[in-house]
A and B are shown apart, each in its own frame.
Chain A
Amino acid sequence: MWSGSLAAILRRLAAAARDLAPIILVIALFQGLVIRQPFPDLAGVVVGLACVVLGLALFIQGLELGLFPLGEAIARSFVKKGSAAALLAFAFCLGFGTTVAEPALVAVGEKAAEVASEAGFIADSENARSAYAFQLRLVVALSVGAAIVLGVLRILKGWPLHHLIIGGYLLVTLMTLFAPAEIIGVAYDSGGVTTSTITVPLVTALGVGLASSIKGRNPMLDGFGLIAFASLSPMIFVLAYGIVL
Protein backbone atom coordinates (compact mmCIF):
# COMPACT_ATOMS: atom_id res chain seq x y z
CA MET A 1 0.00 0.00 0.00
CA TRP A 2 2.76 2.42 0.96
CA SER A 3 5.11 1.84 -1.96
CA GLY A 4 2.21 1.93 -4.41
CA SER A 5 1.07 5.21 -2.94
CA LEU A 6 4.58 6.59 -3.12
CA ALA A 7 4.95 5.89 -6.84
CA ALA A 8 1.52 7.37 -7.46
CA ILE A 9 2.41 10.46 -5.44
CA LEU A 10 5.51 11.00 -7.58
CA ARG A 11 3.34 10.90 -10.69
CA ARG A 12 0.90 13.29 -9.03
CA LEU A 13 3.75 15.68 -8.20
CA ALA A 14 4.54 16.07 -11.89
CA ALA A 15 0.86 16.66 -12.68
CA ALA A 16 0.54 19.19 -9.85
CA ALA A 17 3.57 21.11 -11.09
CA ARG A 18 1.93 21.28 -14.50
CA ASP A 19 -1.31 22.52 -12.94
CA LEU A 20 0.50 25.38 -11.26
CA ALA A 21 2.47 26.45 -14.32
CA PRO A 22 -0.21 28.94 -15.50
CA ILE A 23 -0.21 30.73 -12.14
CA ILE A 24 3.57 31.08 -12.15
CA LEU A 25 3.49 32.28 -15.75
CA VAL A 26 0.82 34.90 -15.05
CA ILE A 27 2.61 36.29 -12.04
CA ALA A 28 6.00 36.38 -13.76
CA LEU A 29 4.49 38.04 -16.82
CA PHE A 30 2.66 40.79 -14.98
CA GLN A 31 5.48 41.32 -12.53
CA GLY A 32 8.02 41.65 -15.35
CA LEU A 33 6.02 43.53 -17.98
CA VAL A 34 3.48 45.65 -16.17
CA ILE A 35 4.55 46.29 -12.60
CA ARG A 36 8.32 46.12 -13.27
CA GLN A 37 9.34 45.83 -9.66
CA PRO A 38 11.59 43.12 -8.18
CA PHE A 39 9.95 40.34 -6.21
CA PRO A 40 9.67 41.24 -2.56
CA ASP A 41 10.66 37.81 -1.22
CA LEU A 42 11.75 35.34 -3.87
CA ALA A 43 12.95 32.58 -1.49
CA GLY A 44 9.62 32.58 0.36
CA VAL A 45 7.77 32.36 -2.94
CA VAL A 46 9.80 29.36 -4.10
CA VAL A 47 9.31 27.49 -0.80
CA GLY A 48 5.62 28.34 -0.89
CA LEU A 49 5.21 27.05 -4.44
CA ALA A 50 6.98 23.80 -3.52
CA CYS A 51 4.46 23.35 -0.68
CA VAL A 52 1.55 24.03 -3.03
CA VAL A 53 2.77 21.42 -5.53
CA LEU A 54 3.36 18.80 -2.83
CA GLY A 55 0.05 19.60 -1.14
CA LEU A 56 -1.94 19.34 -4.37
CA ALA A 57 -0.32 15.97 -5.18
CA LEU A 58 -1.07 14.55 -1.70
CA PHE A 59 -4.63 15.90 -1.84
CA ILE A 60 -5.42 14.22 -5.17
CA GLN A 61 -3.86 10.95 -4.03
CA GLY A 62 -5.89 11.06 -0.82
CA LEU A 63 -9.01 11.79 -2.84
CA GLU A 64 -8.62 8.59 -4.85
CA LEU A 65 -7.73 6.52 -1.78
CA GLY A 66 -10.20 7.93 0.72
CA LEU A 67 -12.91 10.42 -0.20
CA PHE A 68 -14.10 8.94 -3.51
CA PRO A 69 -14.34 5.30 -2.32
CA LEU A 70 -15.96 6.38 0.95
CA GLY A 71 -18.61 8.51 -0.76
CA GLU A 72 -19.46 5.66 -3.12
CA ALA A 73 -19.45 3.00 -0.40
CA ILE A 74 -21.86 5.08 1.69
CA ALA A 75 -24.12 5.63 -1.32
CA ARG A 76 -24.18 1.88 -2.00
CA SER A 77 -24.99 0.92 1.57
CA PHE A 78 -27.85 3.46 1.71
CA VAL A 79 -29.28 1.98 -1.47
CA LYS A 80 -28.96 -1.57 -0.03
CA LYS A 81 -30.64 -0.49 3.18
CA GLY A 82 -33.47 0.98 1.11
CA SER A 83 -34.52 3.67 3.60
CA ALA A 84 -35.11 6.94 1.79
CA ALA A 85 -35.73 8.77 5.07
CA ALA A 86 -32.32 7.81 6.46
CA LEU A 87 -30.65 8.83 3.20
CA LEU A 88 -32.36 12.23 3.16
CA ALA A 89 -31.47 12.82 6.82
CA PHE A 90 -27.86 12.01 5.97
CA ALA A 91 -27.99 14.38 2.98
CA PHE A 92 -29.24 17.22 5.16
CA CYS A 93 -26.62 16.65 7.87
CA LEU A 94 -23.84 16.48 5.30
CA GLY A 95 -24.91 19.75 3.64
CA PHE A 96 -25.57 21.62 6.88
CA GLY A 97 -22.56 20.25 8.77
CA THR A 98 -20.01 20.99 6.09
CA THR A 99 -21.27 24.49 5.42
CA VAL A 100 -21.82 25.93 8.87
CA ALA A 101 -18.08 25.83 9.67
CA GLU A 102 -16.87 26.75 6.18
CA PRO A 103 -14.14 29.44 6.56
CA ALA A 104 -14.97 31.20 3.28
CA LEU A 105 -18.56 31.55 4.45
CA VAL A 106 -17.49 32.93 7.84
CA ALA A 107 -15.46 35.60 6.01
CA VAL A 108 -18.32 36.52 3.67
CA GLY A 109 -20.76 36.66 6.61
CA GLU A 110 -18.58 39.20 8.40
CA LYS A 111 -18.25 41.31 5.25
CA ALA A 112 -21.99 41.17 4.74
CA ALA A 113 -22.59 42.34 8.31
CA GLU A 114 -20.34 45.34 7.63
CA VAL A 115 -22.32 46.21 4.52
CA ALA A 116 -25.59 45.88 6.40
CA SER A 117 -24.55 48.13 9.26
CA GLU A 118 -23.04 50.70 6.87
CA ALA A 119 -26.34 50.80 5.00
CA GLY A 120 -28.23 51.36 8.26
CA PHE A 121 -29.86 47.99 7.91
CA ILE A 122 -28.92 46.82 11.37
CA ALA A 123 -27.63 48.75 14.37
CA ASP A 124 -24.02 49.92 14.08
CA SER A 125 -22.71 47.83 16.97
CA GLU A 126 -20.44 44.84 17.40
CA ASN A 127 -23.30 42.76 18.81
CA ALA A 128 -25.72 43.48 16.01
CA ARG A 129 -23.05 42.73 13.43
CA SER A 130 -21.98 39.40 14.89
CA ALA A 131 -25.61 38.34 15.35
CA TYR A 132 -26.30 39.21 11.71
CA ALA A 133 -23.21 37.33 10.51
CA PHE A 134 -24.17 34.27 12.55
CA GLN A 135 -27.76 34.28 11.31
CA LEU A 136 -26.56 34.59 7.74
CA ARG A 137 -24.26 31.60 8.22
CA LEU A 138 -27.14 29.56 9.65
CA VAL A 139 -29.37 30.56 6.75
CA VAL A 140 -26.76 29.53 4.19
CA ALA A 141 -26.00 26.24 6.00
CA LEU A 142 -29.74 25.42 6.16
CA SER A 143 -30.04 26.21 2.48
CA VAL A 144 -27.18 23.87 1.57
CA GLY A 145 -28.71 21.11 3.71
CA ALA A 146 -32.03 21.62 1.92
CA ALA A 147 -30.23 21.69 -1.43
CA ILE A 148 -28.51 18.34 -0.92
CA VAL A 149 -31.84 16.83 0.23
CA LEU A 150 -33.56 18.12 -2.92
CA GLY A 151 -30.63 16.95 -5.07
CA VAL A 152 -30.71 13.42 -3.59
CA LEU A 153 -34.50 13.31 -3.95
CA ARG A 154 -34.04 14.24 -7.60
CA ILE A 155 -31.64 11.32 -8.09
CA LEU A 156 -34.10 8.93 -6.39
CA LYS A 157 -37.03 10.15 -8.48
CA GLY A 158 -35.09 10.74 -11.70
CA TRP A 159 -36.40 14.28 -12.20
CA PRO A 160 -34.61 16.18 -14.99
CA LEU A 161 -32.09 18.56 -13.44
CA HIS A 162 -32.55 21.49 -15.79
CA HIS A 163 -36.24 21.96 -14.93
CA LEU A 164 -35.32 22.46 -11.27
CA ILE A 165 -32.28 24.65 -11.96
CA ILE A 166 -34.07 26.88 -14.48
CA GLY A 167 -36.93 27.16 -11.99
CA GLY A 168 -34.35 28.25 -9.44
CA TYR A 169 -32.96 30.88 -11.81
CA LEU A 170 -36.44 32.29 -12.36
CA LEU A 171 -36.99 32.40 -8.60
CA VAL A 172 -33.68 34.26 -8.12
CA THR A 173 -34.68 36.73 -10.84
CA LEU A 174 -38.07 37.32 -9.27
CA MET A 175 -36.66 37.73 -5.75
CA THR A 176 -33.97 40.15 -6.97
CA LEU A 177 -36.75 42.56 -7.92
CA PHE A 178 -38.00 42.67 -4.33
CA ALA A 179 -34.78 42.30 -2.36
CA PRO A 180 -32.99 45.34 -0.91
CA ALA A 181 -30.06 46.39 -3.14
CA GLU A 182 -27.51 45.94 -0.35
CA ILE A 183 -28.09 42.20 0.01
CA ILE A 184 -28.00 41.30 -3.69
CA GLY A 185 -24.20 41.23 -4.08
CA VAL A 186 -23.78 39.18 -0.91
CA ALA A 187 -26.56 36.79 -1.92
CA TYR A 188 -25.12 36.19 -5.39
CA ASP A 189 -21.64 35.60 -4.00
CA SER A 190 -22.86 33.26 -1.25
CA GLY A 191 -23.67 30.64 -3.87
CA GLY A 192 -20.05 30.33 -4.85
CA VAL A 193 -18.47 30.08 -1.42
CA THR A 194 -20.46 27.23 0.08
CA THR A 195 -18.85 24.36 -1.75
CA SER A 196 -15.51 23.64 -0.12
CA THR A 197 -12.64 21.55 -1.33
CA ILE A 198 -13.49 18.55 0.84
CA THR A 199 -17.28 18.72 0.42
CA VAL A 200 -17.16 18.76 -3.39
CA PRO A 201 -15.42 15.38 -3.91
CA LEU A 202 -17.49 13.70 -1.19
CA VAL A 203 -20.81 15.03 -2.51
CA THR A 204 -19.86 14.24 -6.12
CA ALA A 205 -18.92 10.66 -5.16
CA LEU A 206 -22.21 10.33 -3.23
CA GLY A 207 -24.25 11.48 -6.24
CA VAL A 208 -22.41 9.29 -8.73
CA GLY A 209 -22.52 6.34 -6.30
CA LEU A 210 -26.29 6.70 -5.82
CA ALA A 211 -26.96 7.06 -9.54
CA SER A 212 -24.87 4.01 -10.40
CA SER A 213 -26.39 1.72 -7.77
CA ILE A 214 -30.05 2.63 -8.34
CA LYS A 215 -31.59 0.78 -11.29
CA GLY A 216 -32.60 2.97 -14.20
CA ARG A 217 -30.35 5.89 -13.24
CA ASN A 218 -27.46 7.01 -15.40
CA PRO A 219 -24.42 8.31 -13.46
CA MET A 220 -23.67 10.94 -16.09
CA LEU A 221 -27.27 12.23 -16.29
CA ASP A 222 -28.33 11.77 -12.67
CA GLY A 223 -25.09 11.53 -10.68
CA PHE A 224 -23.93 15.08 -11.22
CA GLY A 225 -26.01 18.07 -10.16
CA LEU A 226 -25.75 18.05 -6.34
CA ILE A 227 -23.17 20.84 -6.42
CA ALA A 228 -25.41 22.86 -8.74
CA PHE A 229 -28.17 22.76 -6.11
CA ALA A 230 -25.72 23.60 -3.35
CA SER A 231 -24.60 26.73 -5.17
CA LEU A 232 -28.05 27.91 -6.26
CA SER A 233 -30.06 27.50 -3.06
CA PRO A 234 -27.96 29.83 -0.86
CA MET A 235 -28.78 32.66 -3.28
CA ILE A 236 -32.50 31.99 -2.84
CA PHE A 237 -32.29 31.66 0.95
CA VAL A 238 -30.12 34.76 1.45
CA LEU A 239 -32.39 36.84 -0.83
CA ALA A 240 -35.39 35.58 1.17
CA TYR A 241 -33.59 36.51 4.39
CA GLY A 242 -33.02 40.01 3.00
CA ILE A 243 -36.66 40.39 1.96
CA VAL A 244 -38.09 39.12 5.25
CA LEU A 245 -35.75 41.12 7.47
Chain B
Amino acid sequence: MEFLKALLDTGFGTLFDVLPIVVVLFLFQAAVLRRSVPNPGRIALGFVLVLLGLALFLVGLEEALFPIGETMAVQLAAGAIEDAAGGAVRWDHYLTVYAFAAAVGFATTVAEPALIAVSLKAEEVSGGAIGARGLRVAVATGVAAGVALGCVRIVTGTPLPWYIMAAYAVVIAQTFRASRTIIPLAYDSGGVTTSTVTVPVLAALGLGLAASVPGRSPLIDGFGLIAFASVFPIISVLGYAMAISAIARLRGPKKDRTKE
Protein backbone atom coordinates (compact mmCIF):
# COMPACT_ATOMS: atom_id res chain seq x y z
CA MET B 1 0.00 0.00 0.00
CA GLU B 2 2.79 2.33 0.98
CA PHE B 3 4.53 1.29 -2.19
CA LEU B 4 1.52 2.22 -4.33
CA LYS B 5 1.36 5.58 -2.63
CA ALA B 6 5.04 6.17 -3.38
CA LEU B 7 4.44 5.20 -6.99
CA LEU B 8 1.50 7.59 -7.25
CA ASP B 9 3.46 10.42 -5.61
CA THR B 10 6.43 9.92 -7.91
CA GLY B 11 4.09 9.63 -10.89
CA PHE B 12 2.56 13.01 -10.12
CA GLY B 13 6.01 14.45 -9.50
CA THR B 14 7.20 13.25 -12.90
CA LEU B 15 4.03 14.58 -14.54
CA PHE B 16 4.72 17.95 -12.97
CA ASP B 17 8.31 17.92 -14.27
CA VAL B 18 7.13 17.14 -17.78
CA LEU B 19 4.39 19.76 -17.75
CA PRO B 20 6.61 22.69 -18.86
CA ILE B 21 7.85 20.63 -21.81
CA VAL B 22 4.33 19.68 -22.85
CA VAL B 23 3.15 23.31 -22.54
CA VAL B 24 6.03 24.59 -24.69
CA LEU B 25 5.45 21.88 -27.30
CA PHE B 26 1.69 22.51 -27.49
CA LEU B 27 2.06 26.26 -27.59
CA PHE B 28 4.45 26.25 -30.52
CA GLN B 29 2.56 23.47 -32.26
CA ALA B 30 -0.75 25.33 -32.04
CA ALA B 31 0.35 28.96 -32.40
CA VAL B 32 3.42 28.85 -34.63
CA LEU B 33 3.69 25.64 -36.61
CA ARG B 34 -0.05 24.98 -37.11
CA ARG B 35 0.84 21.66 -38.70
CA SER B 36 -0.45 18.43 -37.27
CA VAL B 37 2.09 15.93 -35.98
CA PRO B 38 2.03 12.54 -37.73
CA ASN B 39 0.65 9.69 -35.59
CA PRO B 40 -0.58 11.73 -32.62
CA GLY B 41 -1.97 8.59 -30.95
CA ARG B 42 1.35 6.80 -31.09
CA ILE B 43 3.19 9.83 -29.73
CA ALA B 44 0.69 10.18 -26.88
CA LEU B 45 1.17 6.50 -26.04
CA GLY B 46 4.91 7.05 -26.12
CA PHE B 47 4.60 9.93 -23.64
CA VAL B 48 2.45 7.80 -21.32
CA LEU B 49 5.04 5.00 -21.45
CA VAL B 50 7.87 7.44 -20.78
CA LEU B 51 6.07 8.88 -17.76
CA LEU B 52 5.02 5.51 -16.39
CA GLY B 53 8.48 4.07 -16.99
CA LEU B 54 10.26 6.97 -15.36
CA ALA B 55 7.96 6.86 -12.32
CA LEU B 56 8.48 3.10 -11.86
CA PHE B 57 12.21 3.54 -12.39
CA LEU B 58 12.49 6.28 -9.77
CA VAL B 59 10.35 4.48 -7.19
CA GLY B 60 12.40 1.31 -7.67
CA LEU B 61 15.65 3.22 -7.25
CA GLU B 62 14.32 4.92 -4.14
CA GLU B 63 13.25 1.56 -2.76
CA ALA B 64 16.21 -0.62 -3.75
CA LEU B 65 19.34 1.27 -4.60
CA PHE B 66 19.61 4.69 -3.03
CA PRO B 67 19.39 3.53 0.61
CA ILE B 68 22.04 0.88 0.00
CA GLY B 69 24.25 3.21 -2.00
CA GLU B 70 24.13 5.89 0.66
CA THR B 71 24.67 3.49 3.56
CA MET B 72 27.57 1.88 1.78
CA ALA B 73 29.21 5.19 0.94
CA VAL B 74 29.01 6.34 4.55
CA GLN B 75 30.14 2.97 5.98
CA LEU B 76 33.10 2.73 3.63
CA ALA B 77 34.26 6.25 4.38
CA ALA B 78 33.88 5.69 8.12
CA GLY B 79 35.69 2.33 7.92
CA ALA B 80 38.64 3.96 6.23
CA ILE B 81 38.85 6.44 9.10
CA GLU B 82 39.12 3.64 11.64
CA ASP B 83 41.93 2.04 9.68
CA ALA B 84 43.78 5.33 9.65
CA ALA B 85 43.04 6.01 13.32
CA GLY B 86 45.31 8.51 14.94
CA GLY B 87 47.56 9.29 12.00
CA ALA B 88 47.34 12.13 9.52
CA VAL B 89 44.96 11.87 6.57
CA ARG B 90 46.70 10.02 3.79
CA TRP B 91 45.11 9.60 0.41
CA ASP B 92 46.14 5.91 0.16
CA HIS B 93 44.13 4.97 3.26
CA TYR B 94 40.99 5.25 1.21
CA LEU B 95 41.66 2.81 -1.63
CA THR B 96 38.44 0.87 -0.97
CA VAL B 97 36.47 4.10 -1.21
CA TYR B 98 38.01 4.91 -4.60
CA ALA B 99 37.30 1.39 -5.83
CA PHE B 100 33.71 1.69 -4.65
CA ALA B 101 33.33 5.11 -6.26
CA ALA B 102 34.68 3.84 -9.58
CA ALA B 103 32.46 0.74 -9.50
CA VAL B 104 29.36 2.74 -8.59
CA GLY B 105 30.14 5.39 -11.21
CA PHE B 106 30.50 2.73 -13.89
CA ALA B 107 27.42 0.72 -12.92
CA THR B 108 25.05 3.69 -12.52
CA THR B 109 26.17 5.22 -15.82
CA VAL B 110 25.49 2.02 -17.76
CA ALA B 111 21.89 2.14 -16.48
CA GLU B 112 21.41 5.90 -17.07
CA PRO B 113 18.27 6.35 -19.25
CA ALA B 114 19.45 9.62 -20.85
CA LEU B 115 22.69 7.98 -21.96
CA ILE B 116 20.77 5.01 -23.40
CA ALA B 117 18.69 7.50 -25.41
CA VAL B 118 21.70 9.32 -26.84
CA SER B 119 23.59 6.12 -27.64
CA LEU B 120 20.57 4.67 -29.48
CA LYS B 121 20.38 7.87 -31.53
CA ALA B 122 24.12 7.80 -32.19
CA GLU B 123 23.96 4.22 -33.43
CA GLU B 124 21.06 5.11 -35.74
CA VAL B 125 22.65 8.29 -37.11
CA SER B 126 26.09 6.73 -37.65
CA GLY B 127 24.51 3.79 -39.47
CA GLY B 128 25.87 1.37 -36.89
CA ALA B 129 29.50 2.55 -37.07
CA ILE B 130 29.20 3.64 -33.43
CA GLY B 131 27.75 0.83 -31.34
CA ALA B 132 25.30 1.85 -28.62
CA ARG B 133 26.82 -0.57 -26.13
CA GLY B 134 30.42 0.35 -26.88
CA LEU B 135 29.63 4.04 -26.48
CA ARG B 136 27.93 3.45 -23.14
CA VAL B 137 30.85 1.39 -21.83
CA ALA B 138 33.28 4.12 -22.95
CA VAL B 139 31.23 6.79 -21.18
CA ALA B 140 30.88 4.66 -18.05
CA THR B 141 34.64 4.07 -17.95
CA GLY B 142 35.17 7.83 -18.07
CA VAL B 143 32.71 8.38 -15.23
CA ALA B 144 34.41 5.66 -13.16
CA ALA B 145 37.84 7.24 -13.58
CA GLY B 146 36.48 10.74 -12.98
CA VAL B 147 34.57 9.85 -9.83
CA ALA B 148 37.50 7.93 -8.34
CA LEU B 149 39.78 10.90 -8.97
CA GLY B 150 37.10 13.19 -7.54
CA CYS B 151 37.20 11.18 -4.31
CA VAL B 152 41.00 11.47 -4.18
CA ARG B 153 40.49 15.22 -4.45
CA ILE B 154 38.01 15.27 -1.55
CA VAL B 155 40.41 13.25 0.63
CA THR B 156 43.45 15.35 -0.21
CA GLY B 157 41.51 18.62 -0.16
CA THR B 158 43.23 19.90 -3.33
CA PRO B 159 41.47 22.65 -5.31
CA LEU B 160 38.79 21.49 -7.77
CA PRO B 161 39.74 23.89 -10.61
CA TRP B 162 43.21 22.33 -11.01
CA TYR B 163 41.70 18.98 -11.89
CA ILE B 164 38.98 20.35 -14.15
CA MET B 165 41.38 22.67 -15.98
CA ALA B 166 43.81 19.78 -16.54
CA ALA B 167 40.94 17.68 -17.89
CA TYR B 168 39.95 20.55 -20.23
CA ALA B 169 43.53 20.72 -21.50
CA VAL B 170 43.41 16.98 -22.30
CA VAL B 171 40.03 17.39 -24.07
CA ILE B 172 41.37 20.27 -26.18
CA ALA B 173 44.49 18.30 -27.12
CA GLN B 174 42.36 15.27 -28.06
CA THR B 175 39.97 17.43 -30.09
CA PHE B 176 42.77 18.29 -32.50
CA ARG B 177 43.76 14.63 -32.93
CA ALA B 178 40.40 12.81 -33.00
CA SER B 179 38.18 12.13 -35.99
CA ARG B 180 35.88 15.07 -36.71
CA THR B 181 32.69 12.99 -36.65
CA ILE B 182 33.07 11.80 -33.06
CA ILE B 183 33.68 15.23 -31.48
CA PRO B 184 30.07 16.48 -31.11
CA LEU B 185 28.93 13.14 -29.71
CA ALA B 186 31.85 13.04 -27.26
CA TYR B 187 31.07 16.56 -26.02
CA ASP B 188 27.42 15.59 -25.57
CA SER B 189 28.27 12.48 -23.61
CA GLY B 190 29.69 14.67 -20.85
CA GLY B 191 26.27 16.14 -20.12
CA VAL B 192 24.13 13.03 -20.32
CA THR B 193 25.99 10.93 -17.79
CA THR B 194 24.67 12.70 -14.78
CA SER B 195 20.92 12.38 -14.52
CA THR B 196 18.47 10.29 -12.61
CA VAL B 197 20.67 7.50 -11.30
CA THR B 198 24.12 8.94 -10.95
CA VAL B 199 23.49 12.32 -9.32
CA PRO B 200 21.83 11.15 -6.07
CA VAL B 201 24.39 8.39 -5.45
CA LEU B 202 27.33 10.67 -6.23
CA ALA B 203 25.95 13.46 -4.07
CA ALA B 204 25.60 11.03 -1.15
CA LEU B 205 29.10 9.71 -1.72
CA GLY B 206 30.69 13.15 -1.91
CA LEU B 207 28.88 14.54 1.11
CA GLY B 208 29.46 11.35 3.15
CA LEU B 209 33.15 11.30 2.33
CA ALA B 210 33.66 15.00 3.02
CA ALA B 211 31.82 14.62 6.33
CA SER B 212 33.96 11.70 7.55
CA VAL B 213 37.43 12.76 6.41
CA PRO B 214 38.98 14.91 9.15
CA GLY B 215 39.50 18.51 8.11
CA ARG B 216 37.04 18.46 5.17
CA SER B 217 33.76 20.35 5.15
CA PRO B 218 30.83 18.72 3.36
CA LEU B 219 29.60 22.13 2.23
CA ILE B 220 32.86 23.11 0.55
CA ASP B 221 34.52 19.81 -0.38
CA GLY B 222 31.37 17.74 -0.97
CA PHE B 223 30.70 19.45 -4.32
CA GLY B 224 32.58 18.61 -7.47
CA LEU B 225 31.99 14.90 -8.09
CA ILE B 226 29.34 15.72 -10.69
CA ALA B 227 31.81 18.02 -12.44
CA PHE B 228 34.34 15.17 -12.60
CA ALA B 229 31.64 12.83 -13.92
CA SER B 230 30.78 15.34 -16.68
CA VAL B 231 34.29 16.03 -18.01
CA PHE B 232 35.99 12.64 -17.91
CA PRO B 233 33.54 10.85 -20.24
CA ILE B 234 34.50 13.35 -22.97
CA ILE B 235 38.11 12.20 -22.59
CA SER B 236 37.20 8.50 -22.57
CA VAL B 237 34.88 8.72 -25.60
CA LEU B 238 37.47 10.67 -27.62
CA GLY B 239 40.12 8.19 -26.45
CA TYR B 240 37.93 5.24 -27.42
CA ALA B 241 37.36 6.65 -30.92
CA MET B 242 41.08 7.39 -31.32
CA ALA B 243 41.95 3.86 -30.20
CA ILE B 244 39.48 2.34 -32.67
CA SER B 245 40.85 4.31 -35.60
CA ALA B 246 44.43 3.55 -34.54
CA ILE B 247 43.64 -0.18 -34.50
CA ALA B 248 41.87 0.13 -37.85
CA ARG B 249 44.94 1.89 -39.29
CA LEU B 250 47.18 -0.93 -38.08
CA ARG B 251 44.95 -3.54 -39.66
CA GLY B 252 44.79 -1.74 -42.98
CA PRO B 253 43.26 1.50 -44.21
CA LYS B 254 40.08 -0.09 -45.61
CA LYS B 255 38.69 -1.00 -42.21
CA ASP B 256 38.85 2.52 -40.83
CA ARG B 257 35.20 3.19 -40.12
CA THR B 258 35.35 6.11 -37.72
CA LYS B 259 36.81 8.44 -40.34
CA GLU B 260 34.55 9.80 -42.99
Q: Which residues of A contact B (CB under 8 A)?
A: 1, 5, 19-20, 22-23, 25-27, 29-31, 34-35, 39-40, 44-70, 73-74, 77-78, 80-81, 83, 86, 89-90, 93-94, 97-98, 100-104, 107, 111, 114-115, 118, 161-162, 165-166, 169, 172-173, 176, 181-182, 184-186, 188-189, 191-202, 204-205, 208, 218-228, 230-231
Contacts and interface: CB of A to CB of B under 8 A. Distances in A.
B116 A19 contact: yes
Interface in B1-37: 3, 7, 13, 16-21, 23-25, 27-29, 32-33, 35, 37
A224 B118 CA distance: 9
A86 B16 contact: no
B163 to A, nearest CB: 10
B65 A23 contact: yes
Nearest to B108: A23
B80 to A, nearest CB: 10
A27 B64 CA distance: 11
B253 interface: no
A220 B16 contact: no
Interface string B47-65: 1111111111111111111
Contacts of B85: none
A196 B114 contact: yes
Contact of A66 (B44, B67, B76, B188): B44
B56 A78 contact: no
A86 B193 CA distance: 30
A56 B57 contact: yes
Given A49-B64, A68-B121, A60 B116 contact: yes
Contact of A197 (B191, B196, B230): B196
B33 to A, nearest CB: 5
Contact of B49 (A58, A73, A172, A204): A58
Contacts of B100: 26, 30, 34
B126 interface: yes
A93 B21 CA distance: 9
B63 A47 contact: yes
B160 interface: yes
Contacts of A186: 223
Nearest to A37: B75
Contact of B60 (A50, A104, A226): A50
Contact of A90 (B24, B56, B71, B110): B24
B184 A90 contact: no
Interface stretch (B86-94, B165-173, B242-250): B165-173
Given A23-B65, A55-B58, A192 B191 contact: yes
16 contacts: A23-B108, A27-B65, A40-B68, A47-B64, A52-B60, A60-B116, A62-B46, A63-B117, A66-B44, A66-B46, A66-B50, A90-B24, A93-B28, A198-B17, A220-B125, A224-B125
A22 B194 contact: no
B63 A45 contact: yes
Contacts of A176: 161, 165
Contacts of A104: 195, 199
B49 A220 contact: no
Q: Which has the most chain B C-beta neighbours within 10 Å: A19, A194, A205? A: A19
Contacts of B230: 191-192, 231
Contacts of A63: 46, 50, 117, 120
B118 to A, nearest CB: 6
B22 to A, nearest CB: 10
A51 B188 contact: no
Contacts of B161: 173, 176, 184, 188
Given A44-B64, A70-B37, A62 B49 contact: yes
A166 B172 contact: yes
